[in-house]
Amino acid sequence: MARTLSKRPPGGNISSAFAAALLACACGSPPAPSVASGRALHPLALAELRLVPAAGVTAPPTRPVPAFDAAFMTAAAGESLSIGTTNHGYLVGGKALPSDAPGLAIRPISATRDAVYGAAQLIDGLARAARHVADRFPASVLFAGDVAAKNGGTLAPHASHASGRDVDLSYYVSDPDGTPHDGPEMRWVDAQGHVSGSALVFDAARNWALVEALLRDPSMQVQWIFVAAHVEPLVLAAARAAGADPTLMERAAKVMQQPGDSSPHADHFHLRVYCSAAERLQGCIDAPPFYPWIDRHSAAVSEWVEGLVPFLADPRGAAGEEFRFAIERLVRAHASEALPRLHALLEQDRDQATHALVLDAVDFLEGRRTPAAWARWRPEEVGD
Domain of residue 184, CATH code? 3.30.1380.10
The answer as to whether 363 is a domain residue is yes
Same structural domain for residues 223 and 196? yes
**Reported confidence tier of residue 21, pLDDT bands at 50, 70, 90:** very low
pTM, whole model, 2 decimals? 0.80
Main-chain phi, psi angles of 272, to 5 degrees: -135, 135
Same structural domain for residues 255 and 176? yes
pLDDT tens sequence across 66-110: 444 443 443 444 678 899 999 888 998 899 999 999 999 999 999
Range of the domain at 363: 16-77+299-377
The answer as to whether 291 is a domain residue is no
Same structural domain for residues 200 and 268? yes
Mean pLDDT of the chain: 81
Same structural domain for residues 46 and 179? no
What's the structural domain count of the chain? 2
**Reported confidence tier of residue 259, pLDDT bands at 50, 70, 90:** confident
CA 182 to each of CA 104, 127, 359: distance values in angstroms, whole numbers, following the listed order: 11, 16, 55
**Reported confidence tier of residue 376, pLDDT bands at 50, 70, 90:** confident
Give me the sign of the Cα torsion angle 321, 322, 328, 331. Answer: negative
Output the CA torsion 305→309→310→315 (10° steps).
140
Same structural domain for residues 158 and 223? yes
Which of 195, 156, 192 shows the shortest CA–CA distance to 175?
195
| Cβ contact 57:90 at 8 Å | yes
Check whether 165 has a pLDDT greater than 70: yes
The answer as to whether 25 is a domain residue is yes
Same structural domain for residues 156 and 20? no
Same structural domain for residues 251 and 194? yes
The answer as to whether 9 is a domain residue is no
- Which range, of 35-39, 227-231, 261-265, averages the lowest pLDDT? 35-39
- Per-residue three-class SS string for the chain: CCCCCCCCCCCCCCCHHHHHHHHHHHCCCCCCCCCCCCCCCCHHHHHCCCCCCCCCCCCCCCCCCCHHHHCCCCCCCCCCEEEECCCCCEEECCEECCCCCCCEEECHHHHHHCCCEECHHHHHHHHHHHHHHHHHCCCCCEEECCCCCCCCCCCCCCCCCCCCCEEEEECCEECCCCCECCCCCCCCECCCCEECCCCCEECHHHHHHHHHHHHHCCCCCEEEEECCCCCHHHHHHHHHHCCCCHHHHHHHHHHEECCCCCCCCCCEEEEEECCCHHHHHHCECCCCCCCCCCCCCHHHHHHHHHHHHHHHCCCCHHHCHHHHHHHHHHHHCCCHHHHHHHHHHHCCCCCHHHHHHHHHHHHHHCCCCCCHHHHHHCCCCCCC
Same structural domain for residues 122 and 254? yes
| Cβ contact 259:180 at 8 Å | no
Among 222, 247, 280, which residue terminates a domain?
280
